[in-house]
Chain A
Amino acid sequence: MGLLSDPNRRKAITTARILILNMILVLHGDSVVCYLAGIAWFMGLAFEPFTLRTYMSENAMGSTMVEERFPSGERALATAREFAAHKKKVGGMPVDWLVKTMRAQGLEVFTQSFSRNLPFPDESKERFVVRGTNVYGILRAPRAPRTEALVLSAPCSPGNSNNQAVGLLLGLAQYFRSQIYWAKDIIFLVNEHDLIGVQAWLEGYHHTNITGMGYTPLQGRAGSIQAALSLELNSDVVTSLDLVLEGLNGQLPNLDLANLFHAFCQKLGILCTIQGKLQRSDWDTVEGYTHSAQTMLLMVLKQASGRPWGEHGLFLRYHIEAASIRGVNSFRQYKTDATSIGRLFEGMVRKLNNLLERLHQSYFFYLMPSLTRFVSIGYYMPAFGLLTTILLLRALDLWVHLGTPTPVTEDGVGEGESPSSPGLLSVLTPVVISHLTGVALYTLPVLSQEMAVEHFPVSETEAVVLTAIAIYTAGLALPHNTHRLISGEGTEQGWRVLKLVALLYLAVLLGCTALINFSLGFILAVTLVPAAACVTPHVPKALSAVAMVLLSPGCTILYCVFLFQELQEVPVSLAEGWMLFLSVISQGILDHALYGSLVYPLLALLVYPCWLLFWNILFWK
């Protein structure tokens, strides 16, 4: 085309290229600035003047008035005691009692039994082969054709916990049944074995099987579920209610659900928290800022873990807006009774019942430094963007350097072939080998647990975690092995090409991760970007090797564990932290197997191999 064949235009393009080249040289030193700016931007998000106030976007929930009249909190607590007695008697879920009670309230009651063999024993919850039964009752809305439903769920937990939640659930069911205004069916679900039960129920309801769960098919359904609320309550009175939003793979419910909760807490005068932290009004003091920064960081850490932090977390996969509400009973004087909590739920369910469409008006991607403030995707993405810019600039820099040995002549056709172009093999080999290590890290721990248990005095869980750590560490020895495969010494050009590939790979990887789960992408970027940007074969080996290991994905998890404990105000010693770290790894592997969390495969199959590429570059010569 004319654009390239015209000599004048070509000259202009060449000039532009030189200009860009100079710019890059100038920017070379600006990586540090970019990095610091990214971190500063991120930390600034917790500063109140920079954030937006939450507001109800959904018209159907904003302007319509509902009255809360739930009267029978005491009766609900009596039901809870009865439930507790039956639970104790049966030694598990009192299925028959629940069925009878719900049926007497005029609900359509169904049960679902399920079984699941865990890949290895879950030591924190002491379970390996899980068998259980879910009981759910459907309140059929009058004159509604079974097309839409809302879910209220409460777990039947072992021991004495969550009895009040089930009692309140049954109390609400009884009260709701006598009302005429329902437009959507309401499903009251009492599930056994917390998340596994919910997973079985959801898979049964949607007739899918993604995690290899064994369950009996559901007999009663109520159309497409519009929203779900999960209730966790351990005491007759509470001081505050905590809202839990983080779901599987970092998914969040629509922000309007959080707004709804907050609006009703305000209306009924109930203390409400997010991440267990009350809101403070002194944003202009250092303490105020630290407080909201802590809240936000906790949310980031929880979201990054990709775990469902409450029962609601599993609903989100099915496009059901869901949140868990957890009663907290602390030593504070001001208490809220069960009637008020019942009214809060009544109000929320009635407003959700008024919905004409699914919740979609408000944000799905946000961070919350407090319950009344939120940071939308448009505000937090630049922080991540600044970090990835470093990778792109470095890649551009390398690309230009790879291109410069051929002088651009006035009449040349363009860039000629580089004289010392490295073979495809020298780049491909490390890529393939590090990915094979990743595959080993992903598959071997679970596969080889039996063998490990036979040969070493460890339990299955320990075997899995220790195998994972062993493979992870063994990967560090790779560069030497890789070199044996590539004939000859690595060339200068070779590592540059490899680094270019690795930089772009990392940039794409982090970019995609951040789009789905911002927190995970950002945390990985904070540690991986400096390592990726600085590594060359020419830096002092020992020192940089230590730095590289400290900035590796595995160590990132370790820091996150310590930071999380610190933020939750339960600091741990090094040894305890290490134990926690081990349990986090086993939980991550279990979450992947049980609920399909993607963090473990992402780290094992993509992020770790990518980091190994940079490790390779360090030991290129």
Chain B
Amino acid sequence: MATRHLFIELQTLNRRAKLKIIFAKFQCLCIIPALVGVDKKTCIQFCLCTFQEEMVIRPLYSGDIYASFQFRTQWDTDFLHDGKKVSHYRLFPKSLGQVLSKFSVRELHISFTQGYWRTMQWGQPFIPSPPGAELWVWFHHTVTDVDGNWKELTNVLSGIFCASLNFIDSTNTVEPSASFKPLGLGNATDHRFLRYATLPREIVCTENLTPWKKLLPCGSKAGLAVLMKSEKLFHSSFHSQAVHIRPVCKDWQCTSTAWELRQTLNVVFDLYTSGQGKKEWSLFKMFSRTLTEACPLASSSKIYVDVTDNPGGELFDLSPSSPLISTAVVLGDRRTYSVYDLTKKETFGQLRSLNLLLRWKGENDMLRPPLHAERYVSGFGLQKGEIHTCLYNSHPYRAYPVLLLDSLPWYLRLYVHTLTVTSKTRENKPSYIHYQPSKDRLRPHLLEMLVQLPPHSVTEVTVQFERALLKWTEYTPDPNHGFYIGSSVISALVPSIVAMDTNSTRDRPLFSSFFPTKEESSYFMRVYTEPLLVNLPTPDFSMPYNVICLTCTVVAVGYGSFYNLLTRTFQVDEPSAPLAKRLANIIRRLRGVPLL
């Protein structure tokens, strides 16, 4: 019933979005209490949802440009604890809310990515994701049949996002013991309630973008979402869209929990294919749209442009300029942003539309990211191979540990005894190894390791494998393409650049720069390696192959029975003796007299 309901939901979503805007506009008036003159407390009780939207634009040194959208819907209700049926949905999408309550999901993270994030050229993304689809879910600890819930959930999500998530089954699902901790409230540590799966082959396109956009309160009718035209978003070097749902604190005292839905979309436009080689970017050039208004339902709607390396405007021109400047520590680095508040009229100027323009003037070298990784298969031939994972720590003097998670399908038979971890030509013994061997056709290998990366080094993790011969029905329709192996996941607490800055190259008050502050000293970072394409020994599925198979079967069956007939000696079977006679014979045998 639920799935059917969802289907109808999906169909009517578009029509409802418009109604919702009109309806919610009326309700949300109370978000700005001053306008209506309602007491703030009563308003919070009345309005249970808030919605924020923002976009960050980061010019990359390669000349490319990175645009990251974040849409955050917070819903101050807890439908897991109360046990009551929640039927009144406002900004929070009903399709997801129902899924959360039906499957007792505590946290859900799903991402669809087309392309590979080039850490060496682009630095770090705000929210990393592996190529293809990735899904990880923490279930509530009251769930008894986690695997059953997981299976149903993947199928439902597959319908919601029009993706092949239904291909997630036990052969590509793992329960990581350390790499994926809950990001929201609650310190669940029992990884029996965690499920993680990737589909590296999943191709992301418009059909996945449309349902994702429909989850937004304003759809793609107003606000930042008007920029999301698929013909431009998919004319890019990298495209990633994600949905993250987690429980968060309702207020700063954390007296009760609220649900947070974060929809993110990251896209990188290429200098040569989208920018015609000119280092000049504008909203119109990127998205073929300009902005005219914020989403009316949004409590805040902002655009941030990273101007950290451009304090005096020597690197690029930004127009129109904005008086608002905001600083924040992002990914271990203190960044400065120009802020454009879309809820304010003056942002749009006289033309009533905002078209940010970025014009490069200078060249600059990029900071190396402190951590990056690559992976490849070595060797040749179709029998054996070796997976190499190289982890680069480019921090000049700090060593730090990283967690490496590898989930490999069963048809690569790992030789775990060949697992080696070397850095600087010396063996590097992992301090923690969690290995779960695969079972043929049932579950994949899971390998998790905690490895200490020495400063300024390359750590190489190698493991040999043998390629299994599949049954002929198990090959994909394009067996000669190869089989995809999902990315490995590297999670680390990386020493931040801010804390690293000991000789204070930037102007800061002296009293602030002696001890590195605790919360800035290191930050969490997740890096995904590229997926692998491995060729397995493949039969030639051609007509002669089929003929040979068929002939062999016929010959085997025919020869077997014919040979049987030839070699068997036939005897006339005497009817078995009557019972009396047999009894008599037994007695005779006992007596030692000849038998009858």
Chain A residues with a Cβ under 8 A of chain B: 1-3, 106, 108, 140, 142-148, 177-180, 206-208, 221, 223-224, 317-319, 356-358, 360
Contacts and interface: CB of A to CB of B under 8 A. Distances in A.
Given A207-B388, A317-B380, 4 more contacts: A2-B566, A143-B114, A145-B531, A206-B379
Contact of B273 (A180, A207, A358, A360): A180
B235 interface: yes
Interface string B110-133: 000011101011000000000110
A178 to B, nearest CB: 5
8 contacts: A106-B62, A106-B63, A142-B238, A143-B238, A145-B116, A146-B530, A178-B273, A223-B376
B530 A142 contact: no
Interface string B292-318: 000000000000000000000000000
A145 B121 contact: no
B272 A224 contact: no
Nearest to A224: B533
B277 A178 contact: yes
B103 interface: no
B239 interface: yes
Contacts of A142: 115, 236-238, 270, 273
A221 B568 CA distance: 64
Contacts of B235: 180
Given A108-B121, A142-B115, A145-B531, A224 B482 contact: yes
A357 B480 contact: yes
A178 B388 CA distance: 32
B357 interface: no
Given A179-B273, A223-B533, A208 B116 contact: no
Contact of B236 (A143, A148, A206): A143
Contact of B272 (A106, A206, A208): A106
B480 A145 contact: no
Given A3-B566, A206-B378, A357-B478, A143 B234 contact: yes
Interface in B376-394: 376-382, 386, 388
A94 to B, nearest CB: 22
A221 B277 CA distance: 25
Contacts of A223: 376, 530, 532-533
A359 to B, nearest CB: 8
Nearest to B479: A357
A358 B533 contact: no
A214 to B, nearest CB: 16
Nearest to A147: B533
Give the contact-size bracket for chain B. 35 or more
Contact of A357 (B114, B376, B481): B481
Contact of A145 (B132, B535, B540): B132
Contact of B237 (A140, A356, A360): A140
Given A108-B121, A140-B118, A206-B378, A145 B236 contact: no
Nearest to B480: A357
Nearest to B390: A217
Top 4 nearest A-B pairs (CB, nearest first) are A207-B378, A145-B131, A357-B480, A143-B115
A357 B477 CA distance: 10
A71 to B, nearest CB: 15
A497 B237 CA distance: 71
Contact of B530 (A145, A317, A360): A145
A319 B531 CA distance: 20
A1 B566 CA distance: 10
B115 A177 contact: no
B253 interface: no
B408 to A, nearest CB: 15
Interface in B456-503: 478-482, 484
B480 A208 contact: no
Contacts of B236: 142-143
Given A143-B239, A145-B115, A221 B374 contact: yes
A415 B505 CA distance: 98
Q: Is the interface of B mostly helix, strand, loop or mixed?
A: loop
Contacts of A177: 272-273
A108 B270 CA distance: 14
Contacts of B530: 145-147, 223
Interface of B: 62-63, 114-116, 118, 120-121, 131-132, 200, 234-239, 270-273, 276-277, 374, 376-382, 386, 388, 478-482, 484, 530-535, 540, 566-569
A84 B277 CA distance: 27
Contacts of B482: 147, 224, 358
A208 B378 contact: yes
A59 B376 CA distance: 29
Contact of B567 (A2, A145, A146): A2
Q: Is the interface of A mostly helix, strand, loop or mixed?
A: loop
A6 to B, nearest CB: 10
Contacts of B376: 207, 221, 223
A317 B382 CA distance: 11
A286 B270 CA distance: 60
Contacts of A319: 380-382, 535
Contacts of B114: 143
Contacts of A360: 480, 540
Nearest to B476: A357
Contacts of B569: 2
A358 B567 CA distance: 49
A254 to B, nearest CB: 11
Contacts of B238: 142-143
A208 B380 contact: yes
Contacts of A206: 378-380
A208 B379 contact: yes
Contacts of B239: 143
A108 B120 CA distance: 10
Contacts of A148: 533
Given A224-B377, A224-B482, A360-B480, A147 B271 contact: no
Contacts of B540: 360
A224 B270 CA distance: 24
A146 B121 CA distance: 15
A207 B385 CA distance: 10
Given A142-B237, A207-B388, A356 B115 contact: no
A180 B274 CA distance: 8
A143 B237 contact: yes
Nearest to B531: A145
Given A357-B481, A360-B480, A145 B566 contact: no
Contacts of A180: 235, 273
Nearest to A148: B533
A272 B115 CA distance: 38
A358 B540 CA distance: 12
B120 to A, nearest CB: 8
A147 B535 contact: no
A325 B566 CA distance: 61
Contacts of B380: 206, 208, 317-319
Nearest to B235: A180
Contacts of B382: 319
B65 to A, nearest CB: 14
Query: Which residue among A147, A206, A317 has the maximum number of chain B CB atoms within 10 Å of its CB?
Result: A147
Contacts of B479: 357
Given A207-B379, A208-B380, A224-B533, A144 B481 contact: no
A144 B480 contact: no
Contacts of A140: 116, 118, 237
A106 B535 CA distance: 30
B374 A147 contact: no
A104 B273 CA distance: 15
A177 B530 CA distance: 21
A216 to B, nearest CB: 12
A360 B481 CA distance: 10
Query: Which residue among A2, A3, A143 has the maximum number of chain B CB atoms within 10 Å of its CB?
Result: A143
Contacts of B116: 140, 144-146
Contacts of B377: 224
A148 B62 CA distance: 23
Nearest to A208: B379
